[in-house]
A and B are shown apart, each in its own frame.
Chain A
Amino acid sequence: MDSFAVKIEGLTKVYKDFWKRKSVPALTNLNLEIKQGEIFGLLGPNGSGKTTTVKLLLGFLYPTSGRSWLLGKPSGHVQTKNKIGFLPEESYLYTFLNAEEILDFYGKLFNLSRKERKERIDKLIHLVGLNPYRKRLLSKYSKGMLRRIGIAQAIINDPDLIILDEPTSGLDPLGRREIKELIREFNQQGKTVLLCSHLLADVQSICSRIAILDKGVLQVAGNVKELLCQNEVMEFLVKNLSDSDLELVKKFIEEKNGEVLSMHPHRSTLEELFVNIIQQHN
């Protein structure tokens, strides 16, 4: 079990109504394994059971049936949380503190020494780009800034497993790119990342494996490349070919009983365009 950062067996959660009658099934018989050192994406539309899964893993909710383990220990085990970082779906932070104070508070909860706390706070505040605003109260932060400080608090303990629930929500494209790069960096350091999101492009670009939930039921789970790969359809990206050469390629494919589905100039994404413009401007 230790080779798995997260292991879920038959996890089911049915919410009860006021009279304690079981009414809404939020998660049904979920089985999942996340290996150590991978970036795993948990996808699904709103209300699909992503956040419920995370809350069950962290012990905030109790399962109706089934079991789960984090880093080899049952969910909710207090000492295991020393190695876990968690970013909730929204940055639920104490807004009467400033950035330094809130990171210091969370650092103390991990029993970090004063020196360690100071070093990590400086490093993290720089990392999430909030150095000019470190003394400003969180109540005066924008949503994006709160998200950044939320990410900083999630990694203040240098965790082995990082659970990020919608980490890029509320961030501008530049911020989203920075967070994605940060997640890749975590992966290079050997950390496991569980990423819950409904922003498919984000997940596709950084996750090695994914699972898709819908109405609390696991629809599919597996390697991103394998899941997206359509073996009967091939995609070529070519450069420096004239129109006549392209016609020749097209003819060659048709001679070999192939079918050209589309042929058009390559377009960059809007995100790439936005980032390029902002970076050039700065």
Chain B
Amino acid sequence: MILTLATHTLREAIRKKIPHILIGSGAIILAISPLISSANEPDALPKIMLILFFQLVTVLCITGIIIYSAISLPYDIEKKTIFSVLSKPVSPFKFVVGKTLGFSLLAAFILAVLGFVNIVFVFCASSHRLSEQKGLFKARKEFNAQHFHIQGKVHHEKEWIRWIMGGGEGIAVWNFPNLHEKTKKTLPFEVELRLKLDSSRDIADTIPLAIGIEGIHSEENKTEVFSAKADEILTVSINPEIIKTHNSIKITASPVLDTDYIGATQNSVKVFSLQKGFVFNYAKAIAITFLKFLLIIAVAVMGSAYLSAPVSILLAFTVFLCGHLLDFVKDFSLLLHHSGAHEHAFPGMIKKPNVFMIYMEYFSKKPLEWVSFILPDFKRFDSLSYLLKGINIPLETIGFSVQYTVIYVLICTLISCILLKKRELF
């Protein structure tokens, strides 16, 4: 019976041409994306397409789905079509679950079609220069350092960041045990260094860094010098034979010049195994986005079980915006407590917060933190950053998102059923 109600809801949406409008609008946005891409970078267009899809097209579709799912039930009540359904052996629980499932099927259908269109566009846009865009089409598995320490002298420590001075005074060391065991395959590996860079030199665009990659028990101190730029990630390839031979590796980094400094934490360096499977990774990103849809649908249906159509639309949009606003609040506080700046930083890196921002944070952060316990946190559903960084979305992330969504949807559905059961249908 729930499936009957769900397919009925889906058929109603199709007859009212809801997916036609959303898919059409989404496809138009994706089609015009070449017009707004920059030609300077080799993977600019596929990146723009991914960003447009996950940040504009999905928001457009969520808007459509919010409106449709928030007005459907009040419309049924207002037009009294609900009488002919609830006079049959249909409980409010089945009615609400059927409706929610119907909207979810609609969302899944729209996402599947637009997701397919997008990936076709991405591949079409990049086929003639695929080799240049390997970075984007990776689906790398991420490994975090298990141990981090400084060999030699720590210049100073500020907000959990350990700063070392160059010229052989100190070396940052990260240990990555059992890499070969974890992958079971001879895969290419690479390391990404996200270090805080600083220099007392007046003009210093780049800082020479000595990077060493060797077995964890190796006594060799072979290093190579790389030029690192501030605010840019330094990527270094690892010889797969090192990992196959040693299983566990250590990575060292230190500035070459004594005028330069690096700030490091345990998470500043990550190792990635390079795996194929961008399409599978993309499918996982779509699945996580679908969970976002599911969550907001449950919220919209919950509102519509008791409120009028305009108010339930407003409620769903408020929840949706606040779910993203929490993310903004976190970024806002980061701006205030800029922890990365060092005394010798390049001019312009030190940003002093103004009074207005401090007051804003003081008044808005605490209430919003309380609200965040009730409202959904949509940051959990950020899959675009994984795709853009070429990182394989871990199954744990998907599992956690599924659990979060299921709990949230169950609570919302339960509340919807109670509200609809208590509601009198005049």
Contact = CB atoms under 8 A, between A and B. Distances in A.
Given A60-B425, A78-B89, A108-B1, A93 B81 contact: yes
B83 A105 contact: no
Interface residues of B, number: 24
Contacts of B12: 94, 96
Contacts of B426: 55, 61
Contacts of B354: none
Contacts of A106: 84, 88
B206 interface: no
Interface residues of A, number: 28
Contacts, number: 67
The 5 A-B pairs with the shortest beta carbon distances in the complex, nearest first, are A86-B87, A92-B80, A96-B15, A109-B88, A108-B4
B245 to A, nearest CB: 65
A236 B290 CA distance: 78
29 contacts: A60-B83, A61-B426, A79-B89, A81-B87, A86-B83, A86-B84, A88-B80, A88-B83, A88-B84, A90-B80, A92-B80, A92-B81, A92-B83, A92-B84, A94-B8, A96-B12, A96-B15, A96-B16, A105-B4, A105-B8, A106-B84, A108-B1, A108-B4, A109-B4, A109-B5, A109-B90, A150-B84, A153-B84, A157-B88
Contacts of A105: 4, 8
Interface of B: 1, 4-5, 8, 11-12, 15-16, 79-91, 424-426
B87 A58 contact: yes
Contacts of B1: 108-109, 111
Interface string A94-132: 101100000001101111000000000000000000000
A184 B5 CA distance: 33
Contacts of A169: none
Interface in A49-90: 55, 58-62, 78-79, 81-82, 84, 86, 88, 90
Nearest to B94: A78
B85 A109 contact: yes
In this complex, the member of B5, B15, B88, B425 whose beta carbon has the largest number of chain A beta carbons within 10 angstroms is B88
A88 B84 CA distance: 8
Contacts of A97: 11, 15
B425 A61 contact: yes
A110 B89 contact: yes
A250 to B, nearest CB: 56
